[in-house]
A = this chain, B = another copy of it.
Amino acid sequence: MTNHLRHRILGIDPGSRNTGYGVIDSDGRHSRLVASGCIRVGRQPWPDRLGLIFDRVADLAGEHRPHDMAVEQLIFARDPTAALKIGQARGAVLCAGLKAGVTVHEYSPKSVKLAVVGSGGADKAQVQHMVRILLSLAQAPGEDEADALAIALCHAHSMGIPQRKRAAASWRDFRP
């Protein structure tokens, strides 16, 4: 039924506590949900948290065998301590993807919002709503899952567009 949706994408939204993930199949215009969830790490020491994130992302890549992985590119951060923590989690996520042999793509938060909502300044509720619509879900996914799925959808809509033009083109490409 859905074998025309040939391209499998793993979207990840890394965080120091919660790392959202979403797997979709897509043909670049239409997409369907394969799996989504959240990797929650507790209060254990940092190296152990990173090990957990690395292992779970490696498991997801092994289980779902995505063609591509898409991760939000963090350019700005207000709080240096938080940036350091998110940076570490991001390092673990990217290394796990690379070690699993998956091509890793990065998108700015603005281009992710543009791709799924059509506005670079969209709020979390709008992203959740549009992810539900685009994937024909019965209900809106949680925030972390929605963000990860939005990143995956952003990559889906950018496929076939040269890397340097993606941020600008992602919404235009999606619009039906």
Contact = CB atoms under 8 A, between A and B. Distances in A.
B81 A84 contact: no
A88 B94 contact: yes
Interface stretch (A2-10, A36-44, A96-104, A136-144): A96-104
Contact of A77 (B48, B81, B90, B95): B81
B74 A106 contact: no
Main SS at interface, chain A: helix
Contact of A79 (B80, B94, B97, B99): B80
Interface of A: 45-48, 50-51, 54, 74-92, 94-99, 104, 106
9 contacts: A47-B97, A51-B99, A77-B80, A77-B83, A79-B80, A84-B90, A87-B87, A88-B91, A92-B95
Nearest to A45: B106
A87 B98 contact: no
A51 to B, nearest CB: 4
A48 to B, nearest CB: 8
Contact of A88 (B47, B76, B90): B90
Contacts of A75: 81
Contact of A87 (B45, B51, B85): B85
